[in-house]
Amino acid sequence: MQFSKVCLVFDAMEETASRLALTDLLAKLFSETDKTEVKKLVYLCQGRISPQHTGIELGMGEKLAEQAISLASGAKAEEIEKLYKKSGDLGNTAQEVLAKRTQHSLTQHELTIAKVYDNFYKIATISGQGSQDTKIKLLAELLVNSAETEPKTIIRFVTGRLRLGTADATILDALSVLKTGTKELRPSLERAYNLTSDLGLIAEIFYKDGLTGIEKIIPIPLNPIRPALAERLADAAAIIEKLGECVVEAKYDGFRLQCHKDGDNVAIYSRKQEPMTHMFPDLVQAIKQQVKVKTAIFEGEAIAFDEDTQSYLPFQTTITRKRKHGVSAKAKEIPLVLFAFELLYADGIDYTQKPFHERRQKLEKIIKNGKIIQHSKIITAKTPEQLQIFFDECVANGLEGIIAKDVNALYIAGARKFAWIKLKRSYQGNLADTIDAVVVGFYRGKGKRTEFGFGGLLTAVYDDESNTFKTIAKVGTGFTEEQMQWFNDTLSKIAVKEKPKNVESNIEPDLWVTPQLVVTLTADEITRSPTHTCAMKNVEGLALRFPRLTQIREDKNATDATTEKEIVDLFNLQKNIQLRDA
């Protein structure tokens, strides 16, 4: 397919906020796409060139992109920089500069999806001496052959500023609409995606084998499965009323990791499918030794352990194990214990389709307790009193709380269901839980904070129905000086001049940012607010009262943040807790 057709659709998508319209535009584009190109097109629609778990990133900043524009157009770097400062959009700048070319190459070729994607892939994967110059030349080659709006799309893609307003759910809807005219195939497509974390692969199989091929998909070793999520209830009595007799599992405050073994190959992924194998050589060795099957996928929570005091360390200590350098030394300094709690796949069998009691039985059979990998602690509770005693024991030992599990429930990848219910020690206050919020803007520092350039955050929660982020809190407390400097440096790189299309806000921060960074907040309570847009009806929404930062969650995607529906549930849960304690 001609890349120009893709650009025209992307331009139209940028102009609409309607999810239905976005779906229809994508479905039409897919209908014109050959089965040999659909995988590449889906990755481009995601703003990626490969699934998250491959670890392949484009890695091309604005300065290199400006050099490529200069090389392709003949314009001086100073002119490009001046135009960029004026427009605030390097894609628009590229389009403007390249439109002024007085002479076109005699060997100019029409761009196709395959050509654009292949150059992007080479840019992402080339390394070594001279690789920077090669990246510039590969990008310039595309720009030389581009026309009309193609330069804008190309530059926005390589600089991470593609503004389509699509989420994975929209792409799944479009694939269903392509075949049936409706979204009826979305559940089957989503299930397959949740089991593989590769939307391009799902589209390719769907084009080739239709729904039959999609329904045959089972977990694939070395392809992470999107994690199941837990619901909340107020107390032990409510959990037993909901589940009846259940398994109750200790909830550890560490890294939730998904571990894959495929023969001698071991891979470890974060909850947002990032490859983390190289960070945990101690866990890799333990998996090879303790997992007694050829292929397996299981989940565990890794938590730092103090061998001298025989106690678990807080998350702030555990997170220091996430590093690119000095890995071996840090592993010796801060050893981890991996508490295995879910089996998803073993030797060709899809255990996500087995009830929990069967998954747990097989987990204990194929993974033997050892120094590094241990089974999560569980009990069976028939009464609220039994559940409460175990909860109190877990909290007394410094853990977060418990997860209650329906013994007959399947593992529901990528979804939040009452198959799992969490009860955390934070529920003992007025606010029923911490909040994972997405940063959508920030404020410049004033007074004592002037030197850091950072004063506070504007945060939002995720509305998964409309694929938008709705504000819930301005956060100005809970920051260390080191964190303030980190936020200024990090957020400045993803700052944008205009409010992102997928953000709903009545508040104007000093700088908007692309919604991608997740932070954990605590607060005194959730209150009604005329200012914030979360769950807004008429003139009132919901907001956090006296919010404070507790953690930076680089292990979560923006779409993994607390949802608007969860905030409404927490608001109601909070009222029940307050009434109970009154």
> Hey, which residues are catalytic here?
251
CA-derived radius of gyration, the chain: 25
The CA-based angle 143-149-151, given to 5 degrees, is 20
Q: Which residues contact 178 (CB under 8 A, 6 or more apart)?
A: 27, 30, 31
Question: What is each CA distance from 8 to 25, 29, 150, 353, in whole angstroms?
Answer: 10, 10, 9, 42
| Alpha-carbon torsion, ordered 456, 466, 17, 195, to 10 deg | 100
Tokens 């009806």 belong to 537
CA 298, 251, 324, 52 dihedral sign is positive
How many other CB atoms are found less than 10 A from the CB of residue 76? 10
In whole angstroms, what is the distance from residue 438 CA to residue 110 CA? Answer: 40
* Tokens linked to 135: 């990246």
Q: Which of 61, 41, 42, 40 is nearest to 158 (CA)?
A: 61
In whole angstroms, what is the distance from residue 111 CA to residue 117 CA? Answer: 10
> DSSP per residue over 155-217, as a string?
HHHHTT-------HHHHHHHHHHHHHSSSTTHHHHHHHHHHH--HHHHHHHHHHHHHHHHHT-
479 CA to centre of own chain: 23
**Phi, psi (degrees; rounded to nearest 5) at 346:** -155, 125
